[in-house]
Amino acid sequence: MKLLSPDPLRRLGANGTGEVKSHPFFNGMDWPKLMRKEYIPIFRPPLHKKQDQAWASSSPTPELSQEVKAQFTGWSYNRRPGQEKQDP
């Protein structure tokens, strides 16, 4: 649940990636394997339309509907001022 906190200062990982990596939920995670993208997902959503793959193209991100935008009202993905990016 802490990953879903809308407050970026209270969100899991706000104090660095180690916070996420050390959480009990991720016990047993092979982080180097994850970074090499060697995990096979247990679910792959079916792709029915060309638009389903729009996110993977090199073209600009498609415009989101107002309904989708409304789901993220109040969320921030910005880093705290002075917080440096940390390597995984």
Q: Domain total for the chain?
A: 1
User: If DSSP codes are grouped into helix, strand and coil, which group holds residue 19?
Assistant: helix
Better-scored residue on pLDDT, 31 or 51: 31
Instruction: Judge if pTM exceeds 0.75.
Output: no
Q: What pLDDT, on the 0 to 100 scale, is given for residue 36?
A: 93
Enter the tokens of residue 26.
């991720």
Q: Is residue 71 assigned to a domain?
A: no
Q: Is residue 6 assigned to a domain?
A: yes
In the predicted structure, residue 75 carries a pLDDT above the cut 80: no
Q: Is residue 2 assigned to a domain?
A: yes
- Measured in degrees and rounded to the nearest 5, phi and psi for residue 78 equal -85, 150
Binned at pLDDT 50, 70 and 90, residue 60 comes out as: low
Mean pLDDT of 5-19: 89
Maximum alpha-carbon separation in the chain: 43
Mean pLDDT of 16-28: 92
Supply the range of the domain harboring residue 23.
1-40
Q: Is residue 87 assigned to a domain?
A: no
Q: What pLDDT, on the 0 to 100 scale, is given for residue 57?
A: 54
Residue 30 C-alpha from the chain's centroid? 18
